[in-house]
Structure 1
Amino acid sequence: MEQLEFFSVPSPCVGVCSVDEKGYCKGCMRKREERYHWLSFSPSQQLHIIKLCRQRYRRKIQQGKTSTLEVEQPQNSQQDLF
């Protein structure tokens, strides 16, 4: 049974409307279908989409951290003296 929502769920759009290489909006991390059909989704579906967007954002940030760590650590062929 779906819980009734008394307030509408605001759109997660932040006005940065461009798409990354995976097809997600760079601003709100929604897929194309999620952006186009936002108003036709039920409030519970909208909340679920927002949860997915947060997960996508965290995953993107985590991948960015690991790739910068790999770049920042130079391979030193000389052994450490200490």
Structure 2
Amino acid sequence: MSPNEQEVPSPCVRNCCLDPEDICLGCFRHLDEITGWMAMSTSQKKVVLKRTEERRKKYPPTLYK
């Protein structure tokens, strides 16, 4: 990691429960994104975080709060 890149923290909330499409209802990452997180670059992690924001909007708040 270059000095200009800051580490992106994992969005994991330690409340894993996968839906039928392998989306975690705790952090809203796909199973492949969860297992590949440590190998991803900072820019890849930022893309995943954007995806999780969009996925979260598709679920009722009572499901994850």
TM-score (structure 1 length as normaliser): 0.65
Q: Could you say which structure has the larger radius of gyration?
A: 1
Q: 1:56 matched to which residue of 2?
A: 55
What is the distance in 2 between the residues matched to 1:49 and 1:12?
A: 10
Q: Which structure has more RCO (C-alpha within 8 Å, separation ≥ 6)?
A: 2
Equivalent position SS for 2:60: helix
What is the distance in 2 between the residues matched to 1:34 and 1:20?
A: 14
How far is 1:21 from its partner?
A: 2.0
The residue correspondences of 1:14-29 to structure 2 (distance < 5 A) are 14-29=13-28
What is the distance in 1 between the residues matched to 2:46 and 2:29?
A: 12
What is the distance in 2 between the residues matched to 1:47 and 1:61?
A: 24
How far is 1:18 from its partner?
A: 1.3
Gaps of 5+ in 1: 65-82
What is the distance in 2 between the residues matched to 1:47 and 1:41?
A: 10
Note if 1:35 corresponds to 2:48. Answer: no
The aligned length equals 59
What is the distance in 2 between the residues matched to 1:60 and 1:21?
A: 13
Gaps of 5+ in 2: none
Identity %: 34
User: Structure 1: which amino acid aligns with 2:48?
Assistant: I
